[in-house]
């Protein structure tokens, strides 16, 4: 796949004449791996969607200056607590408010869309902001079955079995490389030019094996499927076949990470995120509760067990705790990049968290 390179950035985020790898991230400061950001534009009971998207925009501008490598937004539907339902629209806005930060989707849920439409959207983004766009795709619906049917305009059974074919079509549209006898051989995705790199996202072994077989970079959702992280990464590396895109495996994992001035404050900030996840697992998605509500919620023994397990897979605390936790996770998984997410609606807490992490690694 033909890809553009983006400008290499110094620790302050400024561009240089030297070109950066379109896939591999740059580790800055004392960080043993590149640090990036996944943001869901979190909506809280005290914050509206406009607040959430403004915070995402300010976060993008800030992490660019603090030395983070890329920022992705994710596609979710029918979830009142997430404002990033249209990643291509959000990416265009963020790119217009930044200058060097790589921006992308973490990801676009490909079964919800015609591959040609995705190719056109990200071809447009790449034309507007050459060398700064990533296209991460996943096979999950990013919503409930009823909403997925509305998105796909079907009343039939939903399945991810067609995902490899859809992915193949997307890549062929991006590369303008259908076989001559293919029904779409005469169709060109416009605008067309050097295309953004395609990442495969996953939370199971299926996507890991497919990414390896195709020689694509792989992003694993450790932040909500931690029990599958090591098996999936192992499967990705074992099944990897060198391609025109990558000569060797390249993997990142998403990590729920919240930093604060003290361990106690960080726990208070992240506890509502855990409660939101509990409600989501019960099929009751909603706006993120306040810290007080999460603190005073009457957890049953089973609910508390879920919260404790979820928190055990997150990394949170004062800067020294965050650094120790991220270093341990990176060493245990051997990943090439850590993509940090703080599903916190409060602007000040979110920005302060990422600033503390950047300072902990002497990135600023």
42 forms beta bridges with: 82
Per DSSP, which regions of 250-341 are E strands?
Answer: 251-259, 315-317, 337-341
Measured distance CA(276)–CA(204) in Å, rounded: 22
- Evaluate whether 99 touches 128 at the Cβ level (below 8 Å): no
Helix, strand, coil fractions of the chain, as percent rounded to 5 = 45, 15, 40
Measured distance CA(99)–CA(64) in Å, rounded: 8
Measured distance CA(130)–CA(2) in Å, rounded: 13
Q: Tell me the C-alpha to C-alpha distance, in Å, between residue 343 and each of 43, 44, 73, 83, 178.
A: 9, 10, 12, 12, 40
- Evaluate whether 236 touches 244 at the Cβ level (below 8 Å): no
State the virtual CA torsion across 88, 136, 143, 63 in degrees, nearest 10.
Answer: -70
Q: State the chain's maximal CA–CA distance in angstroms.
A: 64
Q: Which residues of 29-59 are buried (b: 16+ CB within 10 A; e: fewer)?
A: eebebbbbbbbbbbbbeebebebbbebbbeb
State the virtual CA torsion across 156, 77, 208, 33 in degrees, nearest 10.
Answer: 170
Measured distance CA(258)–CA(351) in Å, rounded: 10
Residues in the chain: 364
SS (H, E, C) 138-154: ECCCCCCHHHHHHHHCC
What pLDDT does 142 receive? 52
What pLDDT does 78 receive? 83
What pLDDT does 195 receive? 87
SS3 178: coil
> Among 141, 68, 73, which residue's Cα sits nearest to residue 107?
73
Q: What is the pLDDT along the chain (364 residues), one digit of tens a residue?
A: 444 433 333 343 333 323 479 999 999 999 999 999 999 999 999 999 999 999 999 999 999 999 999 999 999 888 899 999 999 999 999 999 999 999 999 989 998 899 999 999 999 999 999 999 999 999 876 556 776 667 666 655 555 678 999 999 999 999 999 999 999 999 999 998 888 999 999 998 999 999 999 999 999 999 989 999 999 999 999 999 999 999 999 999 999 999 999 999 999 999 999 999 999 999 899 999 999 999 999 999 999 999 999 999 999 999 999 999 999 999 999 999 999 999 999 999 999 999 999 999 999 9
Q: What is the DSSP letter of 31?
A: -
What pLDDT does 1 receive? 43
What pLDDT does 167 receive? 96
């Amino acid at each position: 796949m033909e890809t553009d390179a983006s400008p290499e950035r110094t620790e302050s985020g400024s561009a240089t004449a030297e070109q950066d790898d379109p896939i591999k991230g740059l580790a800055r400061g004392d960080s043993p791996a590149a640090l990036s950001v996944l943001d869901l534009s979190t909506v809280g009971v005290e914050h509206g969607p406009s607040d959430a998207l403004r915070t995402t925009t300010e976060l993008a501008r800030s992490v660019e200056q603090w030395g983070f490598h890329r920022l992705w937004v994710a596609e979710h539907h029918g979830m009142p607590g997430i404002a990033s339902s249209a990643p291509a629209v959000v990416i265009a806005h963020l790119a217009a408010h930044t200058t060097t930060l790589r921006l992308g989707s973490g990801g676009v849920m490909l079964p919800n869309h015609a591959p040609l439409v995705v190719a056109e959207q990200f071809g447009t983004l790449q034309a507007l902001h050459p060398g700064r766009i990533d296209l991460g795709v996943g096979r999950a619906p990013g919503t409930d079955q009823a909403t997925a049917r509305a998105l796909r305009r079907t009343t039939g059974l939903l399945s991810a079995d067609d995902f490899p074919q859809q992915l193949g079509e997307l890549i062929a549209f991006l590369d303008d490389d259908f076989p001559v006898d293919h029904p779409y051989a005469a169709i060109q995705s416009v605008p067309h030019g050097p295309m953004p790199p395609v990442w495969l996202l996953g939370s199971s072994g299926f996507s890991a094996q497919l990414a390896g077989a195709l020689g694509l970079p792989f992003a694993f959702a450790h932040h909500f499927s931690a029990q599958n992280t090591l098996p999936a990464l192992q499967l990705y590396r074992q099944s990897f076949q060198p391609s025109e895109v990558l000569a060797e495996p390249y993997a990142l994992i998403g990590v729920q990470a919240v930093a604060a001035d003290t361990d106690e404050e960080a726990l208070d900030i992240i506890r509502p995120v855990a409660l939101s996840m509990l409600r989501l697992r019960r099929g009751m998605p909603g706006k993120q509760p306040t810290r007080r509500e999460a603190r005073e919620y009457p957890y049953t023994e089973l609910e508390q067990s879920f919260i404790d397990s979820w928190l055990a897979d997150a990394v949170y605390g004062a800067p020294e705790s965050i650094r120790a936790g991220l270093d341990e996770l990176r060493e245990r998984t051997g990943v090439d990049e850590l993509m940090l997410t703080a599903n916190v609606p409060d602007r000040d807490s979110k920005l302060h968290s990422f600033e503390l992490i950047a300072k902990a690694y002497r990135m600023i």
